[in-house]
Structure 1
Amino acid sequence: MWRLSLSLLSLVNQISAVTIPPSIFIQAPFDVYYKAGETVKIECVADGIPHPVYTWKRNGIDFNPQGYDDRVVQLPDVGTIVFIRPEDRDEGIFQCFATNNYGVSASIKVNLREAKLKNFQIGSDTTLTPRLGQPLTLNCVPPESIPPSQVFWVIKKTGGGFEAVNLDARVTMDHEYRLRITNVKASDSMDGRAYACMAMNEIMRQSTQGPQKCYFFFFFAATEELSPVSYMWASPEDHFGLRGNQFKVKCIFSGNPTPNVHWERTDGAPLPDRAKILAFGMEMVIDDLQFEDAGTYACWASNSNTQTRVRRTVSVRVESVPYWLLEPQDVEIVVGGTAQFDCLAKAVPEPDYWWFINGVPLENVNDSRITPDRVKRPRPDRIVFENVSREDAMVIQCNATNKHGYIWGDVYLNVLSEAPTILTPPDPEKLVAEGTSVNLTCRVAGKPDPIITWYKDNQQISSGRYKIMPSGELYITQVVLSDAGLYTCEAKNIFNVTSSSGKLLVRRKTLIEQKPLDLEVNAGTDATFTCSATTDPEEVDKLQIKWLKDNKEISADADRMTTNKQNNSLTISGTIVRDSGSYTCVATNGLDQEEASAMLTVRDRPDSPTDVKVEKCATQNATVSWIPGSYNNAPVQYYYYVIQYNTSFSPDTWNFGVRVDSDYNVSNVSLTSWANFTFRVIAYNQIGESEPSFPTLITCKTRPDRPRMHPQNLQTIGDRPGYLHIKWTPMPEIQQNGPGFMYILQYEREGYPTGVQQIPIDDWRIQIWQRGYKNDTMREWNISPQDALASRNGIQFRTTVHDLLPMTTVEAQVSVMNNYYVSRPTDVVTFQTKAGL
């Protein structure tokens, strides 16, 4: 019995061992170039269990990096080989193989080539004398280069060096490296400097010029010749490109003036979305060429000397390197199963398929496992393995190839036989709240995939609220109190059965009994929300209330927001408008939670209007506009605006202009003549008024006009016999409407034939005396109308009196006078004269 148990345990361990054939997941591209003497590497990294070992072949022959001294090394734990000082003899076709006990993974074949750039062929210098306005071609045969070089044209400088030829609608290059000048200009002579063709190899970081192929220009014609459009060069009429590559076609036409070139499809369809017109219209470039881009394209050109278009057509064919329609995939399968590998590719021309087992062509495989009755190829792109055994682990390669290239698939067949193992058993005890959902874990491994069965209190679980997930977990929705119990997960396959159990405890759900209510408050006052909740008796000590504002938790040290631990209320002190929002009470015990929300609306004075502008300034009115500020949650029916103005007469005083309903943000304001007006706007709501807006930047200036009203409160006072004492309310400057303002008193003596008499009120008398000595020291100055007007500033009149005693307390008063009358004097003013007067 002891021997049988030991043998069974050994079998289970053997069955449970994890093995994976190798698989290369990092490899070099098809072509790798190097510069002699500079380090280059060919990458190869694979995974697999056990870890694979690496071997290489060069030109089909085993290649051992250790046989090259220290010049070639293989990096540790990977297959990557590094050529530290590569030489020309290192060139070749390299392939990497990663091997373990369960197969051989093979990389693509990598062509390692030394980069080279030879010199141009020797030739004699050429001097050309083209006619102005005629076309010209400069030939270039680039030197041999690996990889192909970039070719361009340069102008040689007199003292050495060069500068690139500027390509434009008149000067361009064809796809065979010739420089094409569609019409020669005198400036093309470049002051006798030479044109040269240059080739540059990016890997070599080296360029070479055609030193013997230099062209000098001397022009003898005095004027340019005008010529019609003529064909000069174009891409082949039958031209193909490879799918996914960038495709270029070009048409060059000569003529003077320089022709304009256009492209179109001959079937009337639009150009592809991926097509770009470059080289000043002469070249069409299609990025990511696709089969639907095939067809006939036409280029045509014209100039002012050509009556009809000159046209060329190019038939575009699209071919392709093979690409995957159904890429082969790794297959893991149980003993006795059937494994199918597909390698379906598309290409133009159609691809041929080649299959390999562990890197060996299928037709050359000498392996007892590969027999016609078990390994079948029902069609070129498919291979099938039937009735597989554990010994059938291997790596399969597929090659789909045509004349343009190939694609390579490297996948493995892994035959597994693994007893079930519970990797993540159910928790010994899991606590949940009713009404929530719960996952009981049971992640398993095994091949064939184990069948998972769940039991509750030894009774198999059916469907309904219970769902066994693909991962093996048991998902229970809307848990109820009766779901509490002992749950058992059982995993079973043909090799064994295993199980694991855990308890589920269910608590009563948390409930909010008193929910917060919506609040509306005025700014500056406090707002308080209340909330209370209950939970399962076993979880009461864990119950807590949290508050959120707009779904973000309110921290304990939040400004002006405090919570009362006794009743779980939230108070916002000194509310402001930005405190408005949604406040949520969250009651939780750590198992579940319930939420209830309420809205806080804080009403405040409106924000100031902005961007106040004078839209129009006229003689009698101005049009003012503004951008409204925020209403700040106050009822809109109480909202309105007031436009205020000030003038240059009293810039510190703002006057009411007009009230405007909230539906409008533009209004007219009545103005008076001969004043400079500035405007601002104030908004009002039920709470109060906003701060004033910034004043308008533009001042509205009105023209002078006659006064629109006469002085008010005209009265006569009989306080002196033989005199008529008349007084009135002076008119402020804003009502004077122009310069040279004065009062004219009109009177008529009853019973006298002289009719209406006029008295202008336009001169002044100043009286000054030393305080306490009025009778002895009084002096008088009469101010003429001309002097008064000359010293006037707005409604203020100024004058200067002389010959006052220094260091003396002086009193003064002013009267208005004319030829008939001197008014009552003003109130007496007192001042102290200074020393030195």
Structure 2
Amino acid sequence: VCIRRGRWCPLSLGCMVVDGNACLASELAFLLEPNDVIAVRDRPLMLDCRVQGEGPIMVRWRRNGVPVPTSQRVQVLANGTLLIQSFQKRRDGNDPDVGEYDCAAQNRYGMLVSRKAKVQLASLPKFHTHPESMWVDEGGVARFQCQINGIPEANITWERDRTALSTSNSRYTLLPMGILQVTGVQQTDAGIYRCVASNIANTRYSREAVLNVTGRTYKEPVILSGPQNLTINVHQTAILECIATGNPRPIVSWSRLDGRSIGVEGIQVLGTGNLMISDVSLQHSGVYVCAANRPGTRMRRTALGRLVVQAPPEFLQWPQSVSKPAGGSAVFTCVAQGVPEPHLIWLKNGKVLTPGDNVKLTNNNRWDKTQH
């Protein structure tokens, strides 16, 4: 706290005394910064920017580092919010409203720039992978896959003979990567399959694929699809696919290449062999081995996949306000952690700070400034 003539105010806000009897926030601080958002064409979009500090405070918005021109369609509201009345995309392919936005707030003490918020346009292009027809022995395994790159990520469902597939059947496993697995295939599973993708932009249907069911024959174990290399953030859910076929039906098991235990907490098996790890942590990173064993024998097939868990950057220590006499030195410290290791950049009044005669950046992320 700071004190002047009996008045106290929180140092975390920055404080000054006016006429000896009022505490006001002087230093700028963001109460609300813009967040990444997916906009829908021809609909309104609002980006938040709420600032506290001594007035008057001027708020300016930038897109890709360039000032955003205001108009009847694009306005900055009194509370600093940027309002785009109707999000636009030109027919020639240019996206005038798409980009990275930040807001810059300024008062007589200096300028503060918010985080960059990525604004994307919702879209759902055509499928780039369609399910393919297949012949499967009775009692075997069928696998269909479709892929589409939607913004936001599309919700995938499946149809058989133009009717929504029942997810209550335990032999049907739907994985979020656009994969449908059918285990213990029966004659009643034969039909025409297609996937349906939908998001806030559109709904699309894949090409159709036919599942033909044939008689049961002896087959050695085969892994139809093993785990793929996967990179996700902490606290997300990892799904490693492993689907195997053969007659008799192979037994699927999982292990880690480094010999460490996979554990049981947050671990679940989807279908007959897919591994789901909920709320992943950095300790879950590693190479996972899927094995398909023929019952009663040592015959097996294996497949490997690497899971990489990343941690978004977070600050452990950040710069604190200081008051120094002219000619003295000021030291600001900033410490952050994350996986991969974060790259730190210093800004002064919204502009990138470069080392000079009176500014030094040290390896422990300290900024030393000497007044001349």
Q: What band does the TM-score fall into relative to the shorter chain? A: 0.7 to 0.9
Structure 2 equivalent of residue 711 of structure 1: none
2:242 alignment partner, SS class:
strand
- What amino acid is the match of 1:323? E
Cα RMSD for the two superposed structures: 3.4
Structure 1 equivalent of residue 6 of structure 2: none
Structure 2 equivalent of residue 74 of structure 1: 76
Structure 2 equivalent of residue 184 of structure 1: 185
Does residue 114 of structure 1 match 2:121?
Answer: yes
- What amino acid is the match of 2:217? E
CA contact (8 A) 1:226 1:305 kept: no
Distance 1:254 1:147, change over 3 A: same
- What amino acid is the match of 1:314? G
Matches for 1:17-166 after TM superposition, within 5 Å:
20-29=26-35, 31-65=36-70, 67=71, 69=72, 71-76=73-78, 78-88=79-89, 89-120=96-127, 128-142=134-148, 144-157=149-162, 162-166=163-167
Structure whose CA Rg is larger: 1
TM-aligned CA deviation for residue 145 of structure 1: 1.7
Distance 1:316 1:115, change over 3 A: closer
| Structure with greater helix percent | 1
- Give distance in 2, aligned partners of 1:129 and 1:243: 40
Distance 1:146 1:329, change over 3 A: same
- Give distance in 1, aligned partners of 2:237 and 2:309: 11
Structure 1 equivalent of residue 318 of structure 2: 328
1:116 alignment partner, SS class:
coil
Of the three residues 372, 375, 385, the one matched with 2:357 is 372
CA contact (8 A) 1:229 1:259 kept: yes
Aligned length: 348
2:75 alignment partner, SS class:
strand
Distance 1:91 1:341, change over 3 A: same
- Give distance in 2, aligned partners of 1:376 and 1:122: 53
1:363 alignment partner, SS class:
coil
Structure 1 equivalent of residue 227 of structure 2: 235
Matches for 1:189-204 after TM superposition, within 5 Å:
189=190, 192=191, 194-201=192-199, 203-204=200-201
- Give distance in 2, aligned partners of 1:19 and 1:198: 54
- What amino acid is the match of 2:26? I
TM-aligned CA deviation for residue 309 of structure 1: 4.3
Structure 2 equivalent of residue 207 of structure 1: 203
Write the deviation string for residues 715-739 of structure 1: whole angstroms up to 9, x where unpaired.
Answer: xxxxxxxxxxxxxxxxxxxxxxxxx
CA contact (8 A) 2:267 2:276 kept: yes
TM-aligned CA deviation for residue 86 of structure 1: 1.6
Structure 2 equivalent of residue 262 of structure 1: 253
Distance 1:265 1:118, change over 3 A: closer
Does residue 351 of structure 1 match 2:336?
Answer: no
Distance 1:345 1:56, change over 3 A: same
TM-aligned CA deviation for residue 94 of structure 1: 1.2
CA contact (8 A) 1:21 1:104 kept: no
CA contact (8 A) 1:262 1:281 kept: no
1:333 alignment partner, SS class:
coil
- Give distance in 2, aligned partners of 1:208 and 1:229: 36
CA contact (8 A) 1:106 1:359 kept: yes
* TM-score (structure 1 length as normaliser): 0.38
- What amino acid is the match of 1:215? A
- Give distance in 2, aligned partners of 1:264 and 1:53: 58
Matches for 1:509-524 after TM superposition, within 5 Å:
none
TM-aligned CA deviation for residue 62 of structure 1: 1.1
2:275 alignment partner, SS class:
strand
- Give distance in 2, aligned partners of 1:240 and 1:13: 54
- What amino acid is the match of 2:245? S
Of the three residues 207, 210, 214, the one matched with 1:216 is 210
TM-aligned CA deviation for residue 185 of structure 1: 1.6
- What amino acid is the match of 1:278? V
- What amino acid is the match of 2:197? A
- What amino acid is the match of 1:111? K
Does residue 383 of structure 1 match 2:367?
Answer: yes
Distance 1:172 1:19, change over 3 A: closer
TM-aligned CA deviation for residue 93 of structure 1: 1.8
Does residue 295 of structure 1 match 2:286?
Answer: yes
CA contact (8 A) 2:129 2:147 kept: no
Distance 1:36 1:13, change over 3 A: closer
Write the deviation string for residues 257-315 of structure 1: whole angstroms up to 9, x where unpaired.
Answer: 54443333345543246532131352333334333223333333345475544433434
TM-aligned CA deviation for residue 362 of structure 1: 0.8
* TM-score (structure 2 length as normaliser): 0.79
Of the three residues 230, 234, 238, the one matched with 1:247 is 238
2:362 alignment partner, SS class:
strand
Gaps in structure 2 of 5+ consecutive residues: 1-16, 90-95
Write the deviation string for residues 514-553 of structure 1: whole angstroms up to 9, x where unpaired.
Answer: xxxxxxxxxxxxxxxxxxxxxxxxxxxxxxxxxxxxxxxx
- What amino acid is the match of 1:234? G
Gaps in structure 1 of 5+ consecutive residues: 1-11, 365-370, 389-837
- Give distance in 1, aligned partners of 2:265 and 2:83: 40
Distance 1:224 1:241, change over 3 A: same
Distance 1:100 1:215, change over 3 A: same
CA contact (8 A) 2:255 2:289 kept: yes
TM-aligned CA deviation for residue 235 of structure 1: 1.6
TM-aligned CA deviation for residue 27 of structure 1: 1.2
Structure 2 equivalent of residue 462 of structure 1: none
Write the deviation string for residues 128-154 of structure 1: whole angstroms up to 9, x where unpaired.
Answer: 554323443334242x42122232322
CA contact (8 A) 2:361 2:367 kept: yes
2:153 alignment partner, SS class:
coil
Distance 1:322 1:176, change over 3 A: same
- Give distance in 2, aligned partners of 1:106 and 1:251: 47
Distance 1:372 1:350, change over 3 A: same
CA contact (8 A) 2:31 2:52 kept: yes
Matches for 1:345-494 after TM superposition, within 5 Å:
345-363=336-354, 372-373=357-358, 375-379=359-363, 381-386=365-370
Distance 1:54 1:156, change over 3 A: farther
Structure 1 equivalent of residue 3 of structure 2: none
TM-aligned CA deviation for residue 332 of structure 1: 4.3
- Give distance in 2, aligned partners of 1:287 and 1:120: 29
Write the deviation string for residues 325-371 of structure 1: whole angstroms up to 9, x where unpaired.
Answer: x231442436467543222223344333211101111139xxxxxx7
CA contact (8 A) 1:23 1:48 kept: yes
Distance 1:302 1:166, change over 3 A: farther
- Give distance in 2, aligned partners of 1:36 and 1:101: 39
